[in-house]
Structure 1
Amino acid sequence: LSGHYLYYHYGCDGTDDRGWGCGYRTLQTLCSWPRGRPAGVPGLAAVQAALEDVGDKPPGFCGSRNWIGCVEANLCLAHFEGPEGRLCHVPRGAGLRGELERLYSHFAEGGGPVMVGGDADAQSKALLGVCVGPDTEAYVLVLDPHYWGAPKSPRELQEAGWVSWREVSTAFDPNSFYNLCFTSRNSEEQ
C-alpha cells in the first residue's frame, strides 16, 4: 500500500458499534487514504444519511444498527468524493486466490486499501498488501476493524493480530461469496 491511512475500528469515536459497525469502520479507513488524515472521513450518521440520500436505503435507516458492505461503501466513496471505488465480485472465497494478481497490480500501481466482505463471512476488513511465495503460499495483509479499545502502539495491534499477514486459503471462507471494493486516487489527485 502506498500513501497513508488511519485505522478506524469499533468505538474509535466513542460510539459502541460492536456487532454492526465493521463495514462503516472499513469505509472510514478507505476515506482516510491516501493522506492519512481525518478530513473528509464521514461519521457513522453521515454515512447512513448519504445512503438514504442516494436512494440505496429506505427512510428510517439513519440511527439503525444495520450493516453495510462493499456496495454501500462504493456508493459512499462517490457521494463523499473520496478515493475512487471499483467493485469486484468473487462467487466463492476459494476464488480469491484467482484475484491475487489483480490485487498485486492494484497495490504495485499505487492503489489504496481494498475493502472485502461476503455473505457467510460478513465480517468486513481491509486488505493492505499481497505477498506470493515461491510455492503455493499466498498471503494478504489484513486490517481488521473489530478491535475495541484504545491501542497503545502499532506493535500492539500487530502482536494481537488486528493487522497481520494471513494465508489466503485460511483467511477466507471457501463457501462465502466476497465483494471487494478497490480504491484509487481520484482524478484530481492523480
Structure 2
Amino acid sequence: MGSQCPFCDSSLPSSQLLCRANAHLDSFIDHSIHPSPSQSLPREQPAKSNNSLNTPTYLSDGGSSSDNGECKVNDKVSCVIGSQATSEFHKVEEGLMTLLRNCLESEAGNSKSVLSGYVDHFQCLDSEDAGWGCGWRNIQMLCSHLLDQRHEARKALFGGSGFVPDIPSLQRWLEVAWEKGFDEPGSAQFDHVIFGSKKWIGTTECAALLRSFALRARVVDFGPKESLFVSGSGVDNSGNKASNMVKGKSKRGEACQVLMDFVWNYFSDEGSIQFGQQHVVMSEKTPLYFQHDGHSRTIVGIQVKHQQEGLLQYSLLVLDPAHSTTALERSLRQKVGWEKLIKRETHTLKKPQYQLCYVDPGIASEKEMEKLKTIHSVFLEF
C-alpha cells in the first residue's frame, strides 16, 4: 500500500517511506554544514569536523529522532541504497582514455605505453570539495572503471545501482563499511564518523570501502624502511606478487625507480602483454589510487621511452582531480599541452613516501571477507 512522503509529497510503498524521509533529513544536514565557495578551505589546512553536526539523525519506526546505534547494518544499507545520489561530472564523448591513447600513439620516438581501460575523470569543485575532496574523487575514478570494465563489480558495488555515487553517499557507504568491521583502527581515527566532514581520506579508506563490497582492494606502501604509513602493519596475500613486480633500485640510485618498476610491471602484468608493432596497449588492470602527503591522484597507465645508451625514461600517466575535466579534454583533443597535465616523470616524485591502492579481480568469499576486514599493506623499500 502506498504512503505519502511528508517532505516531498511523493507517493511510494510504505517499506520505502522511512528511507526517503531519512534521505531528506540527510540532505538538509549536508547542505547546512557545507560552506559557500568563498569559505572553501585550502588543501594545506583541512577542516576539523564537528561531529554533532556531521552525524545524520535517522527517524525510527516509533518516531524517535535518535539513531544511537540501534539501527541494524542491513537497515542502514537499505537506507543508503534508497538515498544515494549519482555524482555529477563532465562525461567525455568517446572516453578520456581513448583520447589519451590517440595522443600517445601520435608521439614520435621509441616509446611504449600501457593504459588502463575506461576511466571517467572526476574533478574537485570549488563549491563542493576544493581542498579536501581529492581522495573521494580518486575513489570515484576507480569505481567508474570497475563499473564499466568488471561485471562482478557492477553487481556488487553500491547495491547494484550501476552508477558512481556523490561524495556524501560515498561517506555513508564508508560508515557502513566501518560498522561491518572493516578497518577498525582507521574507523577509530575518524571517531567512526565521516558523513558531512571535510577530513582527508586516503588509500586505506578506499580499500575499506571497496572491501565491504567483497572486492579485493590491495594497498602497497613505498618509502624508507624506518618510515611506514599507518596501514603498513603487515603483508597480505598479495605480498609475494607485489614484491615480484619490483626489480630493485635504479642503477642511478633513484629511489622512486622502485615505484616506477612496480607500476610498469603492474600494468604490463609482469611482461605478459605483447606490444608487437603497437606503441600503446590496453591493460586489464584497474587504475591505481596514488597517495602521498598532501594530495592524491589516479594513475591510469605508464610510458617508457628508450633513451641513448640504453637508458629508460618512465612517465606515470596520471589523472589529477585538481584539474578541470574540460581542460583535460580540450588539451587531449587538440594534442597540445596534455603532457604537462598527465605525465609525471621520475624526477617529479620528490615525496619521501607513496601509497597505492588497486583491485584484484573476482569477488571474495564469506571466509575471505573476514580476513579483508583487517587492512595490511605490502611494503616496498626505497
Out of 211, 219, 231, the position equivalent to 1:87 is 219
Which consecutive residues of structure 2, in runs of 5 or more, have no partner in the other structure? 1-114, 155-160, 179-186, 225-253, 270-283, 365-382
CA gap 1:101/1:9 in 2 versus in 1, 3 angstroms: same
Q: Which has the higher contact order (CA 8 A, sep 6+)?
A: 1
Question: For residue 27 of structure 1, what is the aligned residue in structure 2?
Answer: 139
> CA deviation digits over 1:124-178, x for unaligned, max 9?
1011112223214211101101124x616623367366841121221x2243x11
| CA distance in structure 1 between the partners assigned to 2:124 and 2:340 by the alignment | 12
Question: For residue 120 of structure 2, what is the aligned residue in structure 1?
Answer: 6
| CA distance in structure 2 between the partners assigned to 1:97 and 1:138 by the alignment | 9
| CA distance in structure 2 between the partners assigned to 1:91 and 1:64 by the alignment | 29
Check whether the contact 1:141–1:166 (CA below 8 A) recurs between aligned residues: yes
Question: For residue 286 of structure 2, what is the aligned residue in structure 1?
Answer: 112
CA gap 1:87/1:159 in 2 versus in 1, 3 angstroms: same
**Greater displacement, 16-25 / 107-116:** 107-116
Question: For residue 164 of structure 2, what is the aligned residue in structure 1?
Answer: 41
Structure 1 residue 29: Cα displacement: 0.2
| CA distance in structure 2 between the partners assigned to 1:153 and 1:147 by the alignment | 7
Structure 1 residue 62: Cα displacement: 1.1
Q: Which has the higher helix share?
A: 2
Does residue 124 of structure 1 match 2:296? Answer: yes
| CA distance in structure 2 between the partners assigned to 1:141 and 1:88 by the alignment | 18
CA gap 1:156/1:39 in 2 versus in 1, 3 angstroms: farther
> CA deviation digits over 1:102-122, x for unaligned, max 9?
212221232111011122xx2
Question: For residue 357 of structure 2, what is the aligned residue in structure 1?
Answer: 181
Structure 1 residue 91: Cα displacement: 1.2
User: What percentage of aligned pairs have identical amino acids?
Assistant: 27
Structure 1 residue 81: Cα displacement: 4.9
Which consecutive residues of structure 1, in runs of 5 or more, have no partner in the other structure? none
Q: How does 1:144-163 map to 2 (within 5 A)?
A: 144-148=320-324, 151=326, 154-156=329-331, 159=337, 163=341
SS of 1:10 mapped into structure 2: coil
Structure 1 residue 40: Cα displacement: 4.2
Question: For residue 344 of structure 2, what is the aligned residue in structure 1?
Answer: 166
| CA distance in structure 1 between the partners assigned to 2:362 and 2:256 by the alignment | 26
- In the superposition, the TM-score normalised over structure 1's length comes to 0.79
| CA distance in structure 1 between the partners assigned to 2:213 and 2:337 by the alignment | 34
Out of 23, 41, 53, the position equivalent to 2:176 is 53
CA gap 1:33/1:132 in 2 versus in 1, 3 angstroms: same
Stretches (4+) displaced over 4 A: 160-163
| CA distance in structure 2 between the partners assigned to 1:62 and 1:187 by the alignment | 27
SS of 1:137 mapped into structure 2: strand
- In the superposition, the TM-score normalised over structure 2's length comes to 0.42
Check whether the contact 2:304–2:313 (CA below 8 A) recurs between aligned residues: yes
Aligned residues: 179
Check whether the contact 1:88–1:181 (CA below 8 A) recurs between aligned residues: yes
Q: Which has the larger Rg?
A: 2
Give the aligned residue type for 2:261: E
